[in-house]
Amino acid sequence: MTEHEPTRRAEVLRRVVELLRVRLPPEWSTRLRDDAVLEVAAPGGATGYLAIEAKRTPTTRDLASVPMKSETGDPTIQILVAARYLAPSTRAWLDGQGLSYVDATGNLRVRMNAPALYISDRGADRDPWRGPGRPRGSLQGPPAARIVRSLVDLVPPLTVPELARRSGTSLGTVYRVVEFLEQEVLIERTPRGPIADVAWRPLLERWSFDYGFQHSNTIGRFLEPRGLEALTERLAAVEGLRYAVTGTLAAHRFAPYAPARLGMVYVDDLERAAELLNLRPVDTGANVLLATGEYGMVFERCDNVDGVTYAAPSQTAVDLLTGPGRSPAEARELLDWMEANESSWRR
Amino acid sequence: MRVRGDADLLIAARRALIDALGALADHAEAVVVIGAQAIYLHTGKAPIALAEATKDCDLALDTRRLGPAPLIEEAMRTAGFHLNVEGRQPGSWLNADGIPVDLMVPESLAGAAGRRAARIPPHERNAARRAVGLEAAVVDHAPMAVPALDPEDRRCPVANVAGPAALLVAKLHKVGERQATPTRLIDKDAHDIYRLLVAVSTGRLAADLRHLRASELAGDASEQAIRFLDALFASGPDALGSTMAGRAEEGVGEPATVSASVAVLAKDLLIAVD
């Protein structure tokens, strides 16, 4: 959808009210009372109000000041964040806060208790009206990956130079990433001081938009005909091979949630690893995925259990978040475990 | 103790399910197996390297058939279950091995408005939680044998298992209500829809959906689910739901084939329903 860009606040409001109106059941009606309150009436006469917080293209930090509830405490008044465009990470944050939202491209999720209403729809995943200039930040690439892994794995406080040193990344890159993470309310920094707090779970979830086991690496699909137990036995016995087991097999040590059907292993060289592990390359029916690429941090802070090297919990979590099938649900279970046992893996 | 290792996980989950069915045997008429275990019972093992279920067990309670005795919380505790206090969710029970069994009541049967807990006196407030989209499961279900998966365990109780159409309705709601933020967490639900459409004949699904659509309790939810099926799957392999179903097989299966198949089967089902 690339209609002309709604630049003024009034245009954004008009567009989002129209988007809501056409999605309501036919018997419902809406009326914009002044320029900040939308009246929503159900067929039986029950009426609720959406207090609109209009923004242009807000970052998560811009939204942190939005009140969660109407100041009057009236349960028939709910907050609705309206914007020209809301990025996927911003929508995810709003979801997490339980706030209703709508943007001018058609992304919307509105929940009212009285009268009961729930509507949800999807618009653009990229800002169709973003002008030229410096792109919005992201966590793409190996340097950002090293910084994220360090922020998650190390206990704060951490100064920026310390973070640069421990993650092996240039100071300039660290400043850029830290600025972006502050905007996204994923870290807290004392003014001109160290990083005091890291929202490590949302940070890993946000990183998974930019990093994925399959998307960010070169993948080889293989079959271990005797199954995953045979794979782990071979991994425990193999010599002269750097690797890190991730995915379900790595999560099972902490939070077994779904049976392991797929082995996911980081290696340096696909062919050599496949040969040493006696894996057969296949086009379909793979039960082992080997990954290799430029992301050296996957081998950092691994554990060795019964002779098998496993990726760190933070790495395992992001790999499951972007994995196939039920992997993302396994990630949620692992992240729950990590929250409950922070001192056992965060150093 | 926590169950470790892999082969045991589905075995342990099935054992917990059978234990819970035993605990609630006096309420057997009111208990319906739903969720991934029910889908597994209808569709069988996945032919590719994807887990077909997790350790979660979900049971729906039909309060219209639920008697006052025994009290649910007492029956569950006697059978060795305890409420999961960490999860802060009502109805979230764990057995001694840490396997979760969730007891849920469809929103429209869950009593006076509340946030999470189902109000089903005389049963305790924390015994079960309210959940949207389960109305179809208490309308469309049939007795099925639920065999233990452990060769040493000979138990094979008969329990009400939600029908494939009811499971389809529940999954369509899950995908439909999340379409504004289609995270990968929901891909598996889109893939479950694909598995159901493949495993169950279009004729049977259509007949059951018509029945659901006509029911007072589940009519609205089913009508909405059919609209989701149309918009998210039947409109083509590039539709959001079809794409998500395919993406669930990324790296291990045939994403393009899955997306195309689910779109075609959804379209067939829509035609057969009308």
Token pair 């001694």 in the structure block, residue: B96
Q: Contact A286/B51, CB-based, under 8 Å?
A: no
Helices (H), chain A: 9-23, 60-63, 88-97, 142-153, 160-167, 171-183, 200-207, 228-237, 247-251, 270-277, 313-321, 327-340, 342-345
Q: Contact A92/B183, CB-based, under 8 Å?
A: yes
pTM for the whole thing?
Answer: 0.81
Structural domain includes residue A251: yes
**Mean pLDDT over each residue of chain A, to the nearest integer:** 90
- Structural domain ending residue among the three candidates A207, A238, A259: A207
Whether A222 and A203 map to the same domain: the answer is no
Q: What would the two tokens of residue B224 be?
A: 């909405």
* Average pLDDT over every residue of B155-167: 97
pLDDT at A218: 96
Whether A263 and A148 map to the same domain: the answer is no
* Average pLDDT over every residue of B7-15: 87
Structural domain includes residue A129: no
Using DSSP bridges, classify how beta strands B100-106 and B57-61 pair: parallel, antiparallel or unpaired: parallel
Structural domain includes residue A126: no
Q: What is the CATH number of the domain that holds A172?
A: 1.10.10.10
Contact between B127 and B103 under an 8 Å Cβ cutoff? The reply is yes
**Mean pLDDT over each residue of chain B, to the nearest integer:** 91
Whether A281 and A252 map to the same domain: the answer is yes
Structural domain includes residue A136: no
Structural domain includes residue A103: yes
Residue A308, Cβ neighbours under 10 Å: how many? 22
Whether A42 and A113 map to the same domain: the answer is yes
- Structural domain ending residue among the three candidates A121, A154, A188: A121
What domain range includes position A81? 9-121
- Closest by Cβ to B180, choosing from A108, A323, A328: A108
Tens of pLDDT, residue by residue over A13-61, are 888 888 888 888 888 888 888 768 888 898 888 888 888 888 877 888 8
* pLDDT of A136 strictly over 70: no
pLDDT at B105: 95
Q: What would the two tokens of residue B100 be?
A: 């979760």
A285: region left, alpha or beta (phi > 0 left; psi from -120 to 50 alpha):
left
Residue A210: list chain B partners with CB under 8 A.
Answer: none
CA distances from B63 to A4, B90, B126, B214 (A): 52, 16, 15, 20
Residue A228: list chain B partners with CB under 8 A.
Answer: 6
Contact between A298 and A311 under an 8 Å Cβ cutoff? The reply is yes
Please name which of B235, B40, B48 lies closest in space to residue A262, comparing C-alpha atoms: B48
Using DSSP bridges, classify how beta strands A100-103 and A108-112 pair: parallel, antiparallel or unpaired: antiparallel
pLDDT at B3: 43
**3-state SS class at A184:** coil
**3-state SS class at B42:** helix
Whether A67 and A43 map to the same domain: the answer is yes
* Average pLDDT over every residue of A108-136: 78
Whether A68 and A13 map to the same domain: the answer is yes
pLDDT band at B103 (very low <50, low <70, confident <90, very high): very high
Q: How far is Cα A72 from Cα A307, in angstroms, rounded to an integer?
A: 61
pLDDT band at A153 (very low <50, low <70, confident <90, very high): very high
HEC readout, B138-195: HHCEEEEECCCCCCCCCCCCEEEEECHHHHHHHHHHHHHHCCCCCCHHHHHHHHHHHH
**3-state SS class at A283:** coil
Q: What is the CATH number of the domain that holds A325?
A: 3.30.460
pLDDT at A71: 66
Query: Who contacts B145 (Cβ-Cβ below 8 Å, separation ≥6)?
Result: B156, B157, B158
Residue A248 contacts B, CB cutoff 8 Å: yes
Whether A281 and A324 map to the same domain: the answer is yes
Whether A248 and A294 map to the same domain: the answer is yes
* pLDDT of A192 strictly over 90: no
- Closest by Cβ to B9, choosing from A256, A262, A325: A256
Please name which of A98, A96, A93, A112 lies closest in space to residue A25, comparing C-alpha atoms: A112
Query: Closest chain A residue to B49 measured between Cα atoms?
Result: A261
Q: What is the dihedral of CA A161, A163, A168, A169, to 10 degrees?
A: -70
Q: How far is Cα A319 from Cα A219, in angstroms, rounded to an integer?
A: 13
Residue A211 contacts B, CB cutoff 8 Å: no
Query: Closest chain A residue to B47 measured between Cα atoms?
Result: A285
ipTM (interface predicted TM): 0.81
Q: How far is Cα B4 from Cα A38, in angstroms, rounded to an integer?
A: 53
Please give, rounded to a whole number of angstroms, the shortest distance from the CA of A165 to a CA of chain B.
34
CA distances from B35 to A31, A125, A162, A329 (A): 41, 30, 48, 14
Please give, rounded to a whole number of angstroms, the shortest distance from the CA of A108 to a CA of chain B.
6
- Structural domain ending residue among the three candidates A121, A153, A168: A121
Residue B46: list chain A partners with CB under 8 A.
Answer: 261
Q: Contact B51/A326, CB-based, under 8 Å?
A: yes
Token pair 């995908």 in the structure block, residue: B175
Q: What would the two tokens of residue A211 be?
A: 């990093």
- Closest by Cβ to B3, choosing from A121, A256, A284: A256
**3-state SS class at A266:** strand
pLDDT band at B6 (very low <50, low <70, confident <90, very high): low
Residues of chain B whose C-beta is under 8 A from some C-beta in A?
Answer: 2-7, 9-10, 46, 48-51, 53-55, 86, 176-185, 187-188, 191, 240, 247-254
Whether A47 and A20 map to the same domain: the answer is yes
pLDDT at A265: 98
B95-129 burial: b if 16+ Cβ within 10 Å, else e? bebebbbbbbbbbbbbeeeeeebbebeebbbbbbb
Residue A93 contacts B, CB cutoff 8 Å: no
**3-state SS class at A79:** strand
Whether A148 and A99 map to the same domain: the answer is no
* Average pLDDT over every residue of B55-65: 95
Token pair 């109305």 in the structure block, residue: B135
Using DSSP bridges, classify how beta strands A117-121 and A243-246 pair: parallel, antiparallel or unpaired: unpaired
Q: How far is Cα B6 from Cα B19, in angstroms, rounded to an integer?
A: 20
For residue B202, the surrounding DSSP H or E stretch is helix B202-214
Whether A189 and A257 map to the same domain: the answer is no
pLDDT band at B1 (very low <50, low <70, confident <90, very high): very low
Residue B238: list chain A partners with CB under 8 A.
Answer: none
- Closest by Cβ to B49, choosing from A92, A261, A330: A261
Q: How far is Cα A91 from Cα A114, in angstroms, rounded to an integer?
A: 23
Residue B247: list chain A partners with CB under 8 A.
Answer: 324
pLDDT at A159: 95
Per-range mean pLDDT, top range of A91-95, B185-189, B211-215, B250-254: B211-215
Output the DSSP codes for B54-116. -S-EEEEE-TTS--SSS-HHHHHHHTT-EE-STT--TTEEE-TT--EEEEEEEGGGS-S--SS
Structural domain includes residue A334: yes
Whether A188 and A152 map to the same domain: the answer is yes
Please name which of A123, A136, A83 lies closest in space to residue B181, comparing C-alpha atoms: A123
Name the domain count of chain A.
Answer: 3
Using a pLDDT cut of 90, give the percent of chain A over it.
58
Token pair 């059941």 in the structure block, residue: A25
Structural domain includes residue A325: yes
Structural domain includes residue A127: no
